[in-house]
Chains A and B, each alone.
Chain A
């Protein structure tokens, strides 16, 4: 029986000849896509991992599995090694998703930190009010996902202290951050409560310089560098997962070290 989708008058057969190369390409693509082979690795050429190919999905599923494994590996009582002050790199190494010339310094006196989500006290915080909380200093290794590292001396309020001060639900899953440079980020509660996770306000004993997150940034000893948002403007405690800037592009969320 003749298909109703067929045109009444068939197209010129020359079309096939004229488009032979394209037709072959389509066929070849089909074969590649359908095969779990080294060739199909080449299908993953996009910039982000939001692709819907079966390989993209499988890789993201593995990344979620690795989040689960990392949460199991994480020891809340294990402290990162600390180093002598003589090893501290001054100034620290700058890194962001843009060049250092593009940073937008924050007006400290007018800056406030918003708090939202599963907390009792949602009042905004000023620098002065944050300075009244107990402080801690740590000299730890910063490890970048790219492979470089340096030793930095950070001081500020332990995030745990801050979360307790605002009456946060410490059984919530996530602590999420918004920043002045549109660099959202989120960490798991276990890491947030680790003694070496600070809301840092100082580096090497001095007030944070603009490129490194003045007036407030996160500094955790147990995660890769990109998990430490700078220029924080808002903190939210919640049970809703919010991927960070790099996670949306395919990097692993836990990124614990």
Chain B
């Protein structure tokens, strides 16, 4: 960990003045969005064949695949897209420093502050290049939920070949429940994420066109 007095930013931002969302990030974002939607919709189709909660049932219109066989085909095709794209994204994010630059530091006091502001309808979004604490928290949560889905998904898919993993996750049914809860977290994120991007359309446009150019770290730090 670098100490606060040492400006670590220059090593993390090799290309100052680059766009907020470089093209690899945009491609991976939309690839991930498509994979996630297919996985959620097809997952609902698979789930309905044998529900975990008897009060939760997904209607046909919300499912992908007209019946379980089709939903399974979609699910086991899209899983590769999600896993490979996610792996490339995390590798890219770690090696370019983007993950650390975008998500950290995150302070609990900032989270509370942002929540209070939001409740007073003060959504500060005039500067897209700075993520507020709640944004950071949500992105971190959803990234971990995505990783968790891959791990619990492997346990649901191969509970015998990876019986050790399945056991750690509470057996086949435990892994299945965790896989369902991970979906719930991601779906919840998706609703908030899409709603906020529609509320502040410049963020949506930034994820398509790249967004504003980043300021130098010094200016960012001075704010």
Contacts from A to B (Cβ < 8 Å): 38, 41, 44-49, 58-60, 62-63, 66, 73-75, 78, 80-81, 141, 143-149, 221-222, 246, 249-252, 256-257
- Identify 27 residue pairs between A and B in the complex whose beta-carbon atoms are under 8 Å apart, listed by A's number: A38-B37, A41-B38, A44-B65, A44-B66, A45-B66, A48-B69, A49-B70, A49-B73, A59-B77, A62-B73, A62-B76, A62-B77, A78-B161, A144-B50, A145-B68, A145-B72, A146-B68, A147-B47, A147-B52, A148-B50, A149-B172, A222-B161, A246-B69, A250-B70, A251-B72, A257-B158, A257-B160
Q: Which of B39-65 contact A (CB under 8 A)?
A: 41, 46-47, 49-50, 52, 64-65
CB distance from A93 to the nearest CB of B (A): 11
Q: Is B167 part of the binding interface, using a Cβ–Cβ cutoff of 8 Å?
A: yes
Q: Which of A47, A59, A251, A256 has the most CB of B within 10 A?
A: A59
Question: How far apart sit A84 and B65, CA to CA, in the bound complex (Å)?
Answer: 39
Instruction: Please state if B70 and A252 are interface contacts (CB–CB under 8 Å).
Output: no
Question: How far apart sit A242 and B37, CA to CA, in the bound complex (Å)?
Answer: 34
Q: Which of B46, B47, B161, B167 contacts A73 (CB 8 A)?
A: B161
Residues in B with CB closer than 8 Å to A66 are 76
Task: Name the residue on A nearest B176 (C-beta).
Answer: A147
Question: How far apart sit A222 and B49, CA to CA, in the bound complex (Å)?
Answer: 21
Q: A45-B66, A143-B159, A252-B76 are in contact. List 11 more A-B contacts (CB 8 A).
A: A44-B65, A44-B70, A49-B70, A63-B76, A78-B163, A81-B160, A81-B167, A146-B50, A147-B47, A147-B49, A257-B157
Residues in A with CB closer than 8 Å to B73 are 49, 59-60, 62-63, 250, 252
CB distance from A138 to the nearest CB of B (A): 12
CB distance from B157 to the nearest CB of A (A): 8
Q: Which of A80, A246, A249 contacts B160 (CB 8 A)?
A: A80
CB distance from B112 to the nearest CB of A (A): 38
The proximity string for B residues 5-30 relative to A, scoring 1 for CB distances below 8 Å and 0 otherwise, is: 00000000000000000000000000
Instruction: Please state if A257 and B161 are interface contacts (CB–CB under 8 Å).
Output: yes
Task: Please tell me the number of chain B residues within 8 Å of chain A, measured between CB atoms.
Answer: 31
Residues in B with CB closer than 8 Å to A144 are 50
Question: How far apart sit A143 and B72, CA to CA, in the bound complex (Å)?
Answer: 15
Q: Is B205 part of the binding interface, using a Cβ–Cβ cutoff of 8 Å?
A: no
Residues in B with CB closer than 8 Å to A38 are 37
Top 8 nearest A-B pairs (CB, nearest first) are A250-B69, A147-B50, A62-B77, A146-B49, A146-B50, A59-B73, A80-B160, A257-B160
Residues in B with CB closer than 8 Å to A81 are 160, 163, 167
Q: Is B173 part of the binding interface, using a Cβ–Cβ cutoff of 8 Å?
A: yes
Instruction: Please state if B69 and A249 are interface contacts (CB–CB under 8 Å).
Output: yes
Residues in B with CB closer than 8 Å to A48 are 69
Instruction: Please state if A147 and B46 are interface contacts (CB–CB under 8 Å).
Output: yes
The proximity string for B residues 160-174 relative to A, scoring 1 for CB distances below 8 Å and 0 otherwise, is: 110100010000110
Task: Name the residue on B nearest A250 (C-beta).
Answer: B69
CB distance from B153 to the nearest CB of A (A): 13
Task: Name the residue on B nearest A222 (C-beta).
Answer: B160
Would A252 and B158 be within 8 Å (CB), given that A41-B64, A147-B176, A149-B172 are in contact?
A: no
Residues in B with CB closer than 8 Å to A146 are 49-50, 68
CB distance from B42 to the nearest CB of A (A): 9
CB distance from A64 to the nearest CB of B (A): 11
Q: Is B95 part of the binding interface, using a Cβ–Cβ cutoff of 8 Å?
A: no
Q: Which of A47, A73, A221, A246 contacts B66 (CB 8 A)?
A: A47
Instruction: Please state if B66 and A46 are interface contacts (CB–CB under 8 Å).
Output: yes
Question: How far apart sit A59 and B74, CA to CA, in the bound complex (Å)?
Answer: 7
Residues in A with CB closer than 8 Å to B41 are 41
Residues in A with CB closer than 8 Å to B64 are 41
Instruction: Please state if A149 and B173 are interface contacts (CB–CB under 8 Å).
Output: yes
Instruction: Please state if B158 and A256 are interface contacts (CB–CB under 8 Å).
Output: yes
Residues in B with CB closer than 8 Å to A249 are 69
Question: How far apart sit A81 and B73, CA to CA, in the bound complex (Å)?
Answer: 28
Question: How far apart sit A41 and B172, CA to CA, in the bound complex (Å)?
Answer: 30
Instruction: Please state if B77 and A74 are interface contacts (CB–CB under 8 Å).
Output: no
Residues in A with CB closer than 8 Å to B68 are 145-146
